[in-house]
Amino acid sequence: MKITDLRCAIIGQNPVVRIVTDDGIDGYGEAENSKPYLKSHVLFYKQYLLGEDPTDVARVMLKIRRMGSFKPWGSAVSAIEMALWDIAGKAAGVPVYKLLGGKVRDKVRCYNGGIRFPMSGSSPEDYAENMQKMKDSPENFGFIKQGVAFHSRMIAQVPGFTYGDLRGGPPHANRGPLTEKGLKHVIACVEAMKAVLGDEVGLALDCGPGFMLPDAIRLAKALEPLNIMWIEDTLTGDYTPYVMADVYRELTRSTTTPIHTGEQIYLRENFRELIETHAVDVIGPDPADIGGIAELKWVAEYADLHGILMAPHGVFDGIIGLAAHVQVAATLPQNFIGFEYPVARPDWWYDIMEGLPTPIVKDSLIDIWDTPGLGVRFIVDKAMEHLVEEDKSFFD
C-alpha cells in the first residue's frame, strides 16, 4: 500500500486531514477548531508522504516529526499521525487500540473542560452558579476543570487583580505578580465552586500561564485543604514554547496540591526533564499537539515509571480527536486519570459523522468501540454541505 495524496479541508473551524492510498483505504485526522490557519502547514508535509506505506506509521513519522514544534505547530504533524493509524487499523481490520498493545480497560474516563455555560461575571457567586450548571450536565462528569486567574476573565474584570500591565494580542498574553486582593479573589472563587461540588465531583483549575513562582506557591498552599484535583499551567502552558521544568519543580516541592502542565509540549524529548526530575505531579499532553497518539502513549508509560499521573488535554480536538483519545486511552497504564472531553463545534459536526456511542458519555465514561481504525466515519453527503468551494474535492 502506498500514499497517493494528502489533503486538508477546513470543516467548521477544524483542519481535517485525509490521507489517500492506492489500495482504496483512506484515513482521517483532525486538528483543533482553534487552528483553521493550519491548512497550508498540513499540506507542506505532502512531499514527504507520497509513496510511503502508511501502515509503517513510525517510519513515516520519522520523516516529518522533526519539522513540527510546540503548540500550535505540532498540530499538523499530530493530525497526520492520527490519519496514519486510522489507515493502519482499517487495513488490519482492527481498532487502533489493538495496534497500540491492546486495551487495559473497557471504558475510558473523561472530564468536563468544554461543556460550558456563559458567565455573567467573575465573582465567587458567578463561579458557583456556573459550576452548578456544569455539575448538572447529563454526562454526570466525575470531575470538572474551570479557568481562573490568568486563564479567565478575572484579570480584566476584577479591579486591582495584578500589578502587571494588561495586554491584548495572542492567547494568554498576560503575566505578572498578583495583588493580595487578586490572590484572595481566586481563592474565594475556588471555595465557592467546591461548596457546590462537595466531595461528589472533583475540581481541577486551569490557572495560566502567567503566574510568578511566589504567587503560584501561595495559591497552591492556600488550596491544600480543598483537595483540588490539580492546578494547571500556572507558570507556562498554553502557547508557551518552552517547559521551565526547574521552576515547576520548585512549585511542586512546595505544596501537596497536585501540579499539572503539558498541553503545549511537542514530542517525548520535551517531557523528559519534567518527568525525570519529578517537576510536576500530573502531565497533560494533547494528542493533537504532542505529535500524535503513539507519542502520547510513550510519554504516559514513561511518566508511570516515575510515579507521575496522566490527564490528557483535548477540549478543542473535535470528533476525530475524540476517537483518537478513546483509542489511546484504552491502552494507557494505571496512572491515567481521565482525558478532557472534546466538544465538537459547531454542533452540526454530530450530524456529519457516525460511529460514536449514544449517548457518548455516561457517568463520565465512554464505552470503547471495536470498529476498525479510529472507528468514526464521515457521512459524506452531509459533510459536503459544509465544505467551502476550494475544498469541494476533499472527498473525491
pTM value > 0.85: yes
Q: Which of 218, 232, 236, 235 is nearest to 145 (CA)?
A: 232
What pLDDT shows up at residue 377?
98
| pLDDT tens digits, 116-146 | 999 999 999 999 999 999 999 999 999 999 9
N- to C-terminal Cα separation, the chain:
19
Strands 107-111 and 365-367: antiparallel
- pLDDT, residue 170, reads 83
Q: Does pLDDT of 275 surpass 90?
A: yes
Q: What are the φ and ψ backbone dihedral angles of 189, each rounded to 5 degrees? A: -65, -40
Q: What is the pLDDT of residues 301-330, one digit of tens each?
A: 999 999 999 999 999 999 999 999 999 999
Q: What is the DSSP string of 205-274?
A: EE--S---HHHHHHHHHHTGGGT-SEEE-SSS-TT-----HHHHHHHHHT-SS-EEE-TT--SGGGTHHH
Per-residue pLDDT tens for 60-116? 999 999 999 999 999 999 999 999 999 999 999 999 999 999 999 999 999 999 999
Domains assigned to the chain? 3-94+379-391 (3.30.390.10), 99-372 (3.20.20.120)
Please tell me the predicted confidence (pLDDT) of residue 348: 98
Q: Which of 148-174 are b and which e, b meaning 16 or more Cβ less than 10 Å from the residue's Cβ?
A: bbbbbebbeebeebbebeeeeeeebeb
Please name the helix (run of DSSP H) or strand (run of DSSP E) that holds residue 182, with its range, or none. Answer: helix 180-197
Average pLDDT value for the chain: 97
Is the pLDDT at 169 greater than 90, yes or no? no
Q: 16 phi and psi, to 5 degrees? A: -110, 130
Q: Which three cell numbers stand for residue 162?
A: 495584578
pLDDT for 143: 98
Please report how the helices 293-305 and 318-329 are oriented relative to each other, as an axis angle in degrees rounded to 10. 40
Pairwise CA distance, residues 237 & 263, whole Å: 7
pLDDT above 90: residue 168: no
- Per-residue pLDDT tens over the stretch 98-108: 999 999 999 99
Provide the pLDDT for residue 101.
Answer: 97
pLDDT at 164: 85
* CB 145 within 8 Å of CB 113: yes
**Residue 254 CB coordination number (10 Å):** 16
Which pLDDT belongs to residue 296?
98
- pLDDT value for 165: 87
Would you say 363 and 372 are in contact if contact means Cβ atoms under 8 Å apart?
Answer: no
Query: Which residue, chain included where needed, has cell 475556588?
Result: 190
- Separation between Cα atoms, residue 21 and residue 211, nearest integer Å: 48
Count of CB atoms situated within 10 Å of the CB of 60: 21
Q: Give residue 33's pLDDT.
A: 93
Confidence of residue 194 (pLDDT cuts 50, 70, 90): very high
DSSP code for 164:
S
d(Cα 89, Cα 1) in Å, to the nearest integer?
A: 13
